[in-house]
Amino acid sequence: MLIRYLSQVGRYFLMLREIFIKQTKWSVMKKLIFKEIDDLIIDSLGIVAFISFFVGGVVAIQTALNLTNPLIPKYLIGFATRQSVILEFAPTFISVIMAGKMGSFITSSIGTMRVTEQIDALEVMGVNSLNYLVFPKIIALLMYPFLIGISMFLGVLGGWMAGVYGGFTSSDEFILGAQMEFIPFHIVYAFIKTLIFAMLLATIPSFHGYYMKGGALEVGKASTVSFVWTSVSIILFNYILTQLLLGS
């Protein structure tokens, strides 16, 4: 069992090496990158915006409902919302959600190409299929921090709207809290995490799609396995990066 997992990890790193050798012609690659930006980033904007806005709102309401002591200032609602959204919700939990959305899309599209011999067709033509299929996804996901930036903004905005219009705090108090004790490195930390997660989101689902065997049923199974492993990797790397970047 352990040997099987280790051999899979080894294969994953060999795949990473293979992605960067024998580059596809730039004129072809350019179009692939734009297509991946559209499929992976632009197509995710709606769901990320929706989830971020409402979860930001829920964070604000939950915080407000738990501040029962009248001595605790209301501006803490804004502070707690900002910290939760910027440090964890936007970079980590949106990434776990994206492991489901983007990850299953990547695994199923590459897996279907494997099943229908399209990857064999690329290889027979002399194309480095890993570079052709995975490299544009990695480059497209360099835009992922842009998506997470929007998530951060909308999360805090959702918190502000829920706090103010729900009658839990005033606008001034919320904004005061949201600006209080702001540490710019927290943004750097969040975007470092985001870039690492982007790499995981591009490569782990690609690995599961590329090396899958079987037919249509196995494409579905590979998508599920890919979601599990991408989520586990994100959570694990989240812990490691938090310890490295924020731990004393």
Q: Which is nearer to other proteins, 2 or 125 (CB)?
A: 125
Minimum distance, C-beta of residue 27 to other proteins, in the bound complex (Å) = 7
CB atoms within 10 A of CB 124: 10
Angle, CA of 207, 208 and 213, to the nearest 5°: 120
- Out of 9, 42, 72, 124, the residue judged to bind other proteins by CB under 8 A: 124
- The 28-57 site mask, x for binding other proteins (CB under 8 A), equals x-----------------------------
Minimum CB distance to other proteins smaller for 25 or for 247? 25
| Binding segment toward other proteins, per CB under 8 A, in 79-87, 119-127, 186-194, 203-211 | 119-127
State in angstroms the smallest separation of the CB of 98 from other proteins. 21
Of 145, 4, 179, the closest CA to residue 76 belongs to 179
Orientation angle between helical segments 144-165 and 94-115, nearest 10 degrees: 140
What distance in Å separates the CA atoms of residue 189 and residue 84, rounded to the nearest whole number? 13
Answer for which of 30, 120, 170, 188 binds other proteins (CB under 8 A) is 120
- Asked whether position 11 contacts other proteins by CB under 8 A, the answer is no
Regarding 27 and contact with other proteins (CB under 8 A), the answer is yes
The rounded distance, in Å, linking the Cα atoms of 209 and 214 is: 11
- End-to-end Cα spacing for the chain: 36
In sequence order, which ranges of the chain are alpha helices (DSSP H)? 2-19, 26-36, 45-66, 76-83, 94-115, 118-125, 129-140, 144-165, 171-179, 184-210, 216-245
Structure token digits, residue 124: 């027979």
Q: How far is the CB of 125 from other proteins (least distance, A)?
A: 6
Q: Which is nearer to other proteins, 31 or 179 (CB)?
A: 31
Stretch that binds other proteins, among 52-60, 63-71, 122-130, 155-163 (CB under 8 A): 122-130
Binding site residues, other proteins, CB under 8 A: 22, 24-25, 27-28, 112-113, 116-118, 120-121, 123-127
